[in-house]
Structures are given as structure tokens and as C-alpha cells.
Amino acid sequence: MSLKRHLPNKGRVVDVCEADFDQRVIQASQQQPVLVDFWAEWCSPCLVLAPILERVICEWPQAIQLAKLEVDDNMRVAGKYKIRGFPSVLLFIQGQEIARFASAKSAHWIEAFLTEHLQTVNSG
């Protein structure tokens, strides 16, 4: 099951599952950063965060992908990345997790998070 899209996503927001996680997240992050939203249908903070994440990603000036992974149907992936609370959001670059945060955040907070971690990678 998938959350309804709140904005035209310009191809930047995709649903992923265990079967395509390596291709659509790990391999894709070799070309551009991929932010993964580990969410659950029953999780109220997840439902609050989803449209905020989508808006930030769709308006972000640089190429970045948002991959949405519903945890109840993809427990092995959530376990592999030691996801303990929902929502959890992980940032992958060059096939590696470089940062994460948990719980609902404001658009401003997410923009600051991305700016900090993308600048670190671009300058390193």
C-alpha cells in the first residue's frame, strides 16, 4: 500500500520494496543522493512527515531521490538498517548510509539536514 502523493513528484519520489531496494537505493545513490523514508501505515508521525518530505524533495534545487519503504511489508530491509522507530529517514550517497533522523520534522529542519550532509559530501 502506498501513501497518496500530495504534489507532482517530478520523478523524484518512488516506492521501493525489498526486491528492488539495492537497485533503486544503493545503486541509484551512486548517481544522486537517495533519502529513504521508512514508514508504516499505522504510524501517525509517518503520515505527518510524508507530505513534508515530498515537498522538500520536489522543491530541492539539486537532484535527489526520495524512496519510500513501507516497513510492515519489508521487515528484512528495516532490520538490516536497524530501524527501531518510525518514521526513520536515512540518506544514502555512493551506496553508503551517511546520515539518518527519526520522527516527524519540519520542512526547515529537513532542509538544514540535507544542506549540512550534502555540503559535507560535496566538499569532502
Catalytically active residues are 43, 46
Cβ proximity of 56 and 99 under 8 Å: no
Distance in angstroms (rounded) separating the CA atoms of residues 108 and 124 = 24
Which residues neighbour 54 within 8 Å (Cβ) at sequence distance 6 or greater?
Answer: 5, 6, 7, 9, 13, 66
